[in-house]
């Protein structure tokens, strides 16, 4: 049954509570403050790799990237002659607006990453090419073909665009109060002002199109994507307080307000969106990931290249308000995969069983009625999809087809540079696919991809990922063969923080090598060597919580509970939102017979990362110790939905259900606990 008249989904790429909360406390984001006072708020867990095209399509489909088919920012052209930005035709699963179209509901989609060419849905699509401003600030701004559906609205949306030259000096002052002091005769000064003007114009363009449509056209779902926070943070987070040591004092003082200013700008836009949505609408504000803004910002080493992903924090922000939503409450355990199932349920439609997310029932005063369907992919009817012939090509098939055209003389052979770019894109897509598989715990499926990548080009990145995958599969000898040469290389080099292999910050690289080698040595029973590698990892880079989590796990296995406790506390002092550190600390506290403290940490762990079967099992153990039998059983059951092969969990449930007098359930789990099920935690 439909529980809201309609749904408004607002995407703020990279928005983070770490920046928002101080602004809320200072009264500088009044619209969002009023929003969260009347709804729920919390962190939202992202997926790996943390790349926006992959994540926003997971949000739209409720599926991990290895199911929806988007593996990066770019893809091969259909004829295989080059590369292009990732397109809507690359997605191999239906998005929520496709499902709604099949069911006679109207959607409006603005700027979604990636949505070009605009899909012919029941409603309006304005693609992510629509607001891209001209490279020449003063140049002509022709609107790309196929960026608007339906075509009857093309002229309307063309007029709604905001050209960068319309962003004047007065518009920049909220972001750079001392903008007049910037010398525009210098290249750096021109770049700062032009960059900010261009990003603001593109943001205003999306907002103008969305607000006009919400006010003038019917809709059941409106989904709006704003890339602005992410783009501004990548450009200006270096100047955000606290000051980076490498940043010049003058530029720091000039640009320190840009990041906060863009959040306040979004708050102003939010106020108008909420007004247009009305009280009968479920409004969801979310980001796909967070953005490091404090001591966890990437360590900048001389000569080291840091890619954009290292800035991304694994927890974004989520806020919901509307009919049936709890007022002024915290929401725990949300994932970006949960958004699509929740929207479908609110609009009275079943959730696909092949979706990887769940309905956020804890956000509502009364749990909504949830129905399911095996899959929406096999449901016939007009879903507003592009015809099959416009779908993105299989890379290998595209390459083969291109070669045939070259042999026939229809196409000129590619240059070496073009071949290099195509090979690079194919490699990145396969690498990201493998990372997505490991993020979904499908290590056996990821292994052959990493092995192939490593054979083609055994760089640091592919070697480390292959070693990690072997470790997950408990293939420690294979991992050792990969890591030992890397360890020898780190010992022979007197590193100054420059990664000569071009793989980023060498401090972090050295730390990761020794961290993984420490795991291998520990599993081989060489405890002293394991500790030595972990100490070497700490010397290289003591800023990563993963190091102390691994150290804590080592102490747990040696039954040194207090030392494990200190290690996990150190990890949490670095990153208080680390679910693995919360889980480890909970284990160490329970081993010291401190279940009340332990249960709080376990609840925090599953609240930060719902898909964490070990943490749910740990929660069940603690609740059973505290004699909260029904809640303990629920925790074990939740963990088993993620890892059905956990025999110990079945055995615990058999005992718990026996104590509750539920003999039929006890017998089911007793039988399951005696047979091995093929599954991976």
Work out the average pLDDT over 247-271: 96
Residue 670 CA, distance from chain mean position: 38
Dump pLDDT digits (tens) for 427-466.
999 999 999 999 999 999 999 999 999 999 999 999 999 9
Decide if 167 contacts 152 (C-beta within 8 A): no
Q: How far is CA 428 from the centre of its chain?
A: 17
b/e code 573-586 from CB counts within 10 Å (16+ = b): ebbebbbbbbbbbb
The helix/strand/coil state of 315 is strand
Distances in Å between the alpha carbon of 97 and those of 213, 219, 442, 590? Answer: 16, 11, 29, 46
Q: From residue 40, give the alpha-carbon distance in Å to each of 318, 326, 327, 398, 561.
A: 8, 6, 6, 47, 37
User: Residue 210: pLDDT above 50?
Assistant: yes
Return the CATH fold of 612-681: 1.25.40
Question: Which of the four pLDDT bands, split at 50, 70 and 90, describes residue 354?
Answer: very high
Q: What is the pLDDT of residues 261-271, one digit of tens each?
A: 999 999 999 99
Three-class SS state of 402: helix
8 A C-beta contact, residue 337 and residue 47: yes
DSSP per-residue string spanning 254-288 = HHTTHHHHHHHHHHHHHHHHHHHH-TTEEEEEE-S
Supply the CATH classification number for the domain 6-381.
3.40.720.10
Domain coordinates of the chain in residue numbers? 6-381, 612-681
Q: Which of 632, 639, 678 is nearest to 655 (CA)?
A: 632
Q: Which of 134-143, 557-566, 608-617 has the lowest mean pLDDT?
A: 134-143
Share the mean pLDDT of the chain. Answer: 90
What tens digit of pLDDT does each residue of 520-561 get?
A: 998 888 888 998 998 899 888 888 898 899 889 988 988 999
Indicate whether this model's pTM tops 0.75: yes
Which of 313, 442, 432 minimizes the C-alpha distance to 45?
313
Question: pLDDT tens across 599-648, in order?
Answer: 999 999 999 999 899 999 999 999 999 999 999 999 999 999 888 888 99
């Amino acid at each position: 049954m439909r529980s809201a008249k309609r749904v408004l989904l607002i995407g703020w790429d990279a928005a983070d509570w770490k920046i928002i909360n101080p602004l809320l406390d200072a009264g500088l984001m009044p619209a969002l403050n009023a929003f969260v006072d009347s709804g729920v708020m919390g962190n939202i867990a992202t997926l790996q790799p943390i790349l926006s095209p992959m994540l926003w399509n997971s949000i739209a489909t409720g599926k991990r990237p290895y199911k929806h088919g988007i593996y990066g920012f770019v893809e091969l052209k259909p004829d295989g002659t080059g590369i292009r930005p990732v397109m809507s035709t690359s997605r191999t699963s239906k998005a929520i607006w496709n499902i709604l179209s099949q069911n006679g509901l109207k959607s409006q989609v603005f700027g979604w990453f990636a949505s070009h060419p605009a899909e012919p849905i029941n409603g309006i699509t304005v693609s992510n090419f629509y607001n891209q401003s001209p490279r020449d600030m003063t140049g002509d701004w022709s609107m790309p073909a196929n960026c608007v559906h339906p075509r009857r609205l093309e002229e309307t949306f063309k007029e709604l665009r905001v050209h960068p030259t319309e962003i004047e000096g007065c518009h920049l002052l909220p972001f750079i109060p001392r903008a007049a002091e910037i010398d525009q005769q210098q290249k750096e000064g021109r770049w700062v002002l032009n960059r900010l003007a261009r990003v603001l114009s593109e943001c205003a363009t999306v907002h103008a199109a969305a607000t006009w449509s919400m006010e003038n056209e019917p809709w059941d779902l409106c989904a709006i994507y704003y890339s602005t926070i992410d783009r501004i943070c990548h450009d200006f987070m270096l100047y955000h307080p606290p000051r980076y040591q490498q940043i010049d004092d003058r530029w720091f003082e000039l640009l320190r307000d840009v990041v906060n200013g863009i959040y306040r700008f979004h708050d102003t836009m939010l106020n108008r969106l909420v007004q247009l949505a009305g009280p009968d609408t479920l409004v969801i504000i979310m980001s796909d990931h967070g953005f490091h803004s404090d001591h966890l910002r990437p360590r900048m080493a001389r000569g080291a290249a840091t890619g954009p992903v290292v800035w991304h924090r694994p927890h974004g922000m989520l806020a919901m308000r509307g009919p049936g939503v709890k007022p002024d409450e915290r929401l725990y355990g949300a994932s970006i995969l949960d958004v699509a199932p929740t929207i479908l349920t609110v609009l009275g439609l079943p959730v696909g069983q092949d979706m990887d997310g769940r309905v956020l029932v804890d956000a509502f005063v009364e749990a909504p009625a949830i129905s399911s369907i095996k899959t929406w992919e096999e449901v016939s009817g007009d879903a507003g999809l592009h015809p099959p012939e416009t779908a993105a090509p299989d890379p290998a098939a595209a390459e083969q087809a291109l070669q045939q055209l070259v042999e026939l003389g229809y196409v000129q052979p590619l240059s070496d540079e073009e071949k290099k770019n195509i090979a690079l894109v194919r490699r990145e897509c396969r690498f990201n696919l493998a990372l997505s598989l490991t993020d979904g715990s499908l290590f056996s499926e990821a292994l052959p991809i990493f092995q192939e990548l490593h054979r083609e080009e055994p760089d640091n990145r592919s070697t480390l990922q292959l070693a990690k995958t072997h470790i997950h599969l408990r293939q420690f000898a294979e991992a050792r063969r990969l890591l030992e040469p890397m360890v020898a290389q780190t010992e022979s080099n007197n590193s100054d923080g420059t990664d000569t292999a071009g793989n980023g910050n060498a401090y972090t690289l050295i730390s990761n090598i020794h961290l993984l080698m420490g795991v291998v040595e520990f599993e081989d029973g060489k405890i002293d060597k394991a500790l030595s590698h972990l100490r070497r990892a700490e010397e290289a880079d003591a800023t990563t919580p993963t190091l102390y989590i691994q150290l804590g796990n080592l102490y747990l296995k040696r039954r040194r509970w207090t030392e494990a406790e200190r290690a996990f506390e150190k990890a949490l002092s670095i990153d208080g939102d680390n679910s693995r550190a919360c889980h480890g600390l909970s284990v160490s506290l329970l081993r010291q017979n401190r279940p009340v403290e332990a249960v709080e940490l376990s609840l925090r762990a599953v609240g930060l990362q719902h898909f964490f079967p070990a943490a749910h099992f740990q929660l069940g153990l603690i609740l059973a110790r505290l004699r909260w039998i029904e809640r303990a059983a629920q925790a074990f059951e939740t963990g088993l939905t993620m890892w059905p092969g956990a025999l110990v969990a079945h055995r615990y449930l058999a005992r718990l259900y026996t104590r509750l007098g539920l003999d039929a359930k006890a017998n089911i789990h007793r039988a399951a606990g005696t047979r091995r099920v093929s599954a991976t935690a």
